[in-house]
Each structure stands twice: as C-alpha cells, then as structure tokens.
Chains A and B, each alone.
Chain A
Amino acid sequence: MAYSIDFSDIWPRLPYLLGGAWLSLQIAFLAFCGGMVIGLFGAMAQAFGGPWVRRPVDAYVSLFTNTPQLVQIYFIFFALPDWGVLLSPYHAVLIGMTLNAGAYLTQIQRAGFASVHRPEIEAAETLGFSKLQSVRYVILPHIMRTLFPPLSNLYILMTLGTSMAAVFGVEELTGRAFNVNSETFRSIEVFSLTAVVYILITFVATFLLAGAGRKLFRARMNVF
C-alpha cells in the first residue's frame, strides 16, 4: 500500500506549530543580540588589545567555530552538571547558541574592523576620541554598511540553527513538529509544513533586514 498524503490531522495543529515558530524567533533574536555584544568586544580586543588579550580571544573563536554547535550544547547540558551547573534545556541552548554566535560574529566584525583605513582611526585619535568613542562614532558607522549583509545572512542561518533546540526537548518549531508527529504519525505532512513555515519566517526576516539595511546603512542588499 502506497503512502497517501493527508493533511486533515495537521491543519488544526498549525497554530500550535506557529507558537513554536515564535519561540524559535525569540531564541534566534536573543542569541544574536548576545553574540553581537560578545563579537563587538571580541573584535575590539583583537583590533586594539595586546597579545595577552588577543590570544584568548583567538582561542575562543577557533574553538567555537571549529566544533559543532550541537556538541557544544551537549557539553553544556550534559557535562556541566558534573561541576554543579544545572541548566534547563532552554537556557543551555540559549547559552550554547550565544557563545557560538559570538565566535562567528567576532570573526565577521574583525574583518569589518580591518577594512577601516588606518588614517581614519588616526584622525579620530587626533581629535581626542577615546578608543570606545572612535569605535562608536568612526568605525561602526563606517563598517555597518559592508557588515550588514553578512550579519543578516548569519541571522538567517541562526534562525535555522534554532531547530537544534528540539534535540534537547525545547518546544520550538521543530520540537513541536516532533510532538505533532508522535501524536498523528503524519510524518511527511508535519515536516513539510514545518519546512514551509521555516521558509516563510526566514523570507520575512530577509525582506525586513534588507529593507532596514538599505534605509539605515545604505547597504547594498539583493534579496534574490
């Protein structure tokens, strides 16, 4: 007997899935913001710091960008309790994703910092700007234009990365899809609907980010 596609059990559960999508977006947003802060300080440390500041940051970046996010969260979730750090699945995922995003964002922002011309930073110094001021008023406005496309790209990838949380039992979009799957056994229907929801939410994010990038930073962004 061939498998017959039947969505009738799935449609009533669509709002439940969409609730999960909202949680996915929240996780991605929080992890991205946290990662942005880590990344900014990491890039600043690599641009201005001495070797004893740069080396730990380099180690952090290459450690987190060369190992899978899933195993990092496994480590946080299963190994840290041995040292007395007990985290809920949600928090373990959030911390793991933030640290992982921080490493990638350090890399991206370092490349941005390197693209600023030396005389501009010297000019800021001549005007008596402190390091923080020159980052805030000279470097950031300058590099956001070139940095915005890779940043929004990473944000989309991170939204997809939140599906990993399902492995730890967090009920975001994929987690809820697993729940619906075990209730209805309509596997192909559930997961194709989930895929469509992911496509839609990332498309919306892409369009919004491209609009924001063009308006705020005059970034050149093509959606297609």
Chain B
Amino acid sequence: MLQQLFDAAPRFFSYYNILFLLQALVATFLLSLVGCVLGFLLGFVLAVTRRTTGWRMAPLRALVVTYTEAFRRIPFLVTLMLVFFAFQAARLDTSVFVVALCSVCLIATAFIAEIVRSGLDSVHRNQWDAATAMNLSYLQTLRYVVVPQAWKVMLPPAFSFFVLFIKDTALASQIGVIELTFAGKVMANKGFPAALTFGTVLVLYFALSWPLARFGRWMEARLAPARAR
C-alpha cells in the first residue's frame, strides 16, 4: 500500500497541484481571519449593548441575549445551509465564499460576544463605580477605564477561537467553497490515493494551525496579569 503512495507522489506534487493546494490554504485562512475580525467588531458591539443599563435599552438587550444564546447552539453546517438558502431566496448573486464568510461571521459574532462580555466582567466592580463617580459616561468608561484593562483578558480566548475556527471552516467545502478540504476532495476525485490527498490536507492544516496555536499560548502567557503568573 505504501508503494502505491510513493508511485502517485511525483504526479501528485506537481507545480500546479501544489499551487492549487496553497491557494486553497490561503482561502481557508482568509475565511477564518476575515470572519473572526468582523465577528470581533460585531461581538464587541453586542457585548457592550448587553452591559447597558436602563429600560430604554431593554429590548435591544433581550435581542442580544437571544442572538448569542441561539447562534452558539446551531451547528456550523446548519448555519451554512441556512445562509446559503437564504441568499438564494433573496436572489443575491454572490459567490459561495461570501456565503461562507457570512456564516462564519454570524457564529463568530455570537461566540466572541461572550468572550468580550467575560472580559468586561473581569474588570472589578469598583473600577466601574469609580468611573461613574467621576461622571464618565458609559462610552467614556469603556474607552478610558474598562477596555485598557480588559483587552488583555479578551484577546487570548478570542485568538484561540479564531484558531479553532480555522478547523471548523472545513465544513464550508460542503457548499462548494474552494478551501483546503474541498481541494482535497477534488484531488481524491481526480484519482489520487485518498491517504495521500487527505494526508497532505491534514499536514497543511497542521502547518497553519500549530504555529498559530503556539503563538496564542505565548500571547496568553505574556498578557497574563502579574498575580496569575
């Protein structure tokens, strides 16, 4: 069986096949990166909305809670299908990459909103109270008091969510986004041994995710508050 792999390897690792796989790797990376950056911005807005007080914001708060609780409990595959068919029903003529990006964004927003919320909660109550006593508005409190302290708590888990999602985007191959898993399927359909194609795909995912995971752990250790070190 190993002989079969060695025989197919020179044909498999041709210039254009390698180019195709690397382009697919970039697509995988971008899908997760762009989705998570947008998700971070939107998730931040949601978390900030959720921390507001006062009855005027109550309907918005309820909306935010429903959104974050619901979208953290829907599998990525189902979200993909929903967005895919919703785009179709709305007659939006977009590429499948955009569809996948929207689904990543929807899910990432919900998860990162929770991460940001726990980051905001990690700032001691006294700090919030002190800011109120200094007559800072809610947004000023966030800008000058809370976020400078909380970003260290929010960034490592948000980053590890991003690394985790690189692997979840493999499901985007199901709607035809040309990312790494899809490329592997194309290669397997061309007749290359499955062990070779999927083995290569696994190695490429590992090469992308492992350094990022290491970097995330380094960042977490670096940003940890002095008392926890």
Contacts and interface: CB of A to CB of B under 8 A. Distances in A.
Contacts of A67: 167, 202, 205-206, 209
B35 interface: no
Nearest to A167: B174
A68 B210 contact: no
A2 B82 CA distance: 17
Secondary structure of the B contact surface, majority rule: helix
A148 to B, nearest CB: 18
Contacts of A68: 167-170, 181, 205
B196 to A, nearest CB: 8
Nearest to B82: A191
Contacts of A89: none
Contacts, number: 120
Range class of the B interface residue count: 35 or more
B160 to A, nearest CB: 11
Interface string A35-73: 000000000000000000000000000110111111110
A165 to B, nearest CB: 10
Contacts of B170: 68-71
A174 B184 CA distance: 23
Q: Which of B70, B77, B86, B199 has the most CB of A within 10 A?
A: B77
Given A3-B89, A70-B181, A82-B195, A187 B213 contact: no
A83 B1 contact: yes
Range class of the A interface residue count: 35 or more
A74 B167 CA distance: 14
Contacts of A83: 1, 195
Secondary structure of the A contact surface, majority rule: helix
A191 B85 contact: yes
Contact of B193 (A79, A167, A174, A181): A79
B28 to A, nearest CB: 9
Contacts of B133: none
Contact of A164 (B86, B171, B195, B201): B171
Given A188-B89, A195-B78, A160 B73 contact: yes
A46 to B, nearest CB: 16
A191 B76 CA distance: 12
Given A166-B77, A195-B70, 7 more contacts: A3-B89, A63-B206, A71-B198, A79-B198, A160-B73, A177-B78, A199-B74
Interface of A: 2-3, 62-63, 65-72, 74-75, 78-79, 81-83, 156, 160-164, 166-167, 174, 177, 181, 187-188, 191-192, 194-195, 198-199, 202-203, 224
